[in-house]
Amino acid sequence: MSNPDPSFSPAEYADRLARVRRSMDAAGLDTLFVTDPSNMAWLTGYDGWSFYVHQGVIIGPQGKPHWWGRGMDAPGALRTVYMADDRVHGYEDHLVQNEQVHPMTDLAAVLSDLGLTNGRIGVEMDNYYFSAKACDTLRHARLALEDATGLVNWCRLIKSPTEQDFMRRAGAIVTHMHSVIAQMAEAGMPKNRLVAEITKAGIEGVEGSWGDYPAIVPITPSGMDATAAHLTWDDSPLPRDTPTFFEIAGVYRRYQCPQSRTLFIGKVPDTYARAAEAIQAATDAVTAIAAPGAMAEHLAAAFNGTLAKYGFTKDSRCGYPIGLSYPPDWGERTMSLRAGDKTVLEPGMTFHFMPALWLDDGGIETTEPLLITDTGCEKLARTPPGLVIKD
């Protein structure tokens, strides 16, 4: 094997590959080309900050996967994938960001050399990492492309015991990160200074678990900025009597465990106290039924029904699967906790339960990363529930 220290056993990689091939058969695909770096890592172990150039993993009808990418990144593949060296294919650097010729011309040649140009080839068309130009180039090479967006993602829903251990380690890291916020935040502190401390805590990790980089940077808006969902930090001072929510993730070996808490320095307005009470009641309602056999929509109904009793509503989904991820998203982009999603929960699934509320003058987020167990659910982080209130 090329990788001297794989995170997972050859048997686990073989099981993942078998799952994907069963899905390929069900979709009528002969070959699959995977460009999502999370799916690439899950299938092969490949790990590198190279997703800004064209790269991918080739799954044929038999044998182990092939890694294909920029020649400069091939040594990184040799250091991280579990396959033998002859399964790593690097293209020449003149193909990188060249308006005259596209790297997919090389991929078409590699597929031809491997005898994989006949039949239906699945590609992740609706994905951050597969461009319209890439698709057009492959079609000009007379390849029969089919949309396979999400095929591998759905195979990743149930986490192995090792993956569950990684998620718990990430949960311990995000717990530590939130404790740093609670300890260090004070009125007037420049927000970028606090974000620096949060980031340091996340990378240092906790005893026995080093911290990795998150797929999303810390989301830390205050006041009116917190009426929006995804604003980041600046150098403004932390305000008093005003909500600041912190949506952050602990990460271990690229496994992401996001969690949010809302900070008040000073007085909590009555509206936010009521919103926090509603969110906690809704969270309790969801965790009470989050168990194998429940459907995704059942959790959404419990959440929304409880919120309504307190006079609040949330239009967007209230959760999504999480796990192995790379920028720009820590979600797995499959099922959603919302009305109409009838996906049945199974042991080993992991979710970011996201009961956020965006009000007229601010926002509140107190979210929980959850693991579905054999009998119910487990909170992957141990951060105290509710608002973080400091004098």
Q: Which domain holds residue 116?
A: 10-155
pLDDT for 5 beyond 70? no
Whether residue 165 lies inside any domain: the answer is yes
What distance in Å separates the CA atoms of residue 153 and residue 134, rounded to the nearest whole number?
A: 21
Angle between helices 37-44 and 10-27 (to 10 degrees): 120
1 in a domain, yes or no? no
Residue 2 lies inside a defined structural domain of this protein? no
Q: Please give the Cα distance from 158 to 161 (Å, whole number).
A: 10
Q: Which of 108, 123, 155 finishes a domain?
A: 155
Buried b (16+ CB within 10 A) or exposed e, 75-94: ebbbebbbbeeebbbbbeee
The residue written with tokens 């990743």 in the block is 156
Considering the domain architecture, whether residues 167 and 241 belong to the same structural domain is answered as: yes
> Tens digits of per-residue pLDDT, 375-384?
999 999 999 9
184 lies in the same domain as 143: no
Structural domains of the chain, count: 2
Q: Residue 69 belongs to a domain with what CATH number?
A: 3.40.350.10
Same domain, 86 and 104: yes
Q: What is the pLDDT of residues 20-52, one digit of tens each?
A: 999 999 999 999 999 999 999 999 999 999 999
Give residue-wise pLDDT tens across range 230-261: 999 999 999 999 999 999 999 999 999 999 99
Is the residue at 183 inside a domain? Answer: yes
pLDDT at 7: 82
Average pLDDT over every residue of 8-20 = 97
Would 357 be classed as within a structural domain?
yes
Question: What radius of gyration, in Å, describes the C-alpha atoms of the chain?
Answer: 22
The distance from CA 233 to its chain's CA centroid, rounded to whole angstroms, is 21
Q: d(Cα 202, Cα 211) in Å, to the nearest integer?
A: 5
Does a structural domain hold residue 5? no
Residues 97 and 223 in one domain: no
Q: CA–CA distance from 33 to each of 71, 97, 125, 272, 274 (Å)?
A: 18, 20, 10, 48, 49
Burial class (CB in 10 A: 0-12, 13-18, 19+), 353: buried
**Co-location of 376 and 279 in the same domain:** yes
Report the amino acid identity of residue 29: L
Give CA–CA dist 348/118, Å, rounded: 37
Longest dimension (CA), the chain: 68
Share of the chain above pLDDT 90, in %: 96
Q: Which of 155, 189, 224 is the last residue of a domain?
A: 155
Give the domain-ending residue among 155, 187, 205. 155
28 and 109 part of one domain: yes
pLDDT of res. 2: 54
pLDDT tens digits along 116-154? 999 999 999 999 999 999 999 999 999 999 999 999 999
185 and 143 in a common domain = no
Residue from 161, 167, 152, 158 nearest 44 by CA: 152
Answer yes or no: do 111 and 21 share one domain: yes
Mean pLDDT, the chain, rounded, equals 96
Amino acid letter, residue 21: R
Cα–Cα distance, 37 to 42 (Å, whole number): 8
Tell me: do 120 and 176 sit in the same domain. no
Does residue 166 sit in the same domain as residue 141? no
Q: For 275-287, what is the mean pLDDT?
A: 97
Residues 39 and 134 reside in one and the same domain: yes
Does residue 60 sit within a domain? Answer: yes
Question: Could you tell me what percent of the chain has a pLDDT over 70?
Answer: 98
Do 133 and 169 belong together in one domain? no
Measure the CA–CA gap between 261 and 37, rounded to whole angstroms. 29
What does the pLDDT read at residue 1?
46
Question: Cα–Cα distance between 334 and 151 in angstroms, integer?
Answer: 9
Residue 3 lies in a domain: no
- When pLDDT is averaged across residues 178-188 and rounded to a whole number, the result is 98
For 61-116, the pLDDT digits (tens) are 999 999 999 999 999 999 999 999 999 999 999 999 999 999 999 999 999 999 99
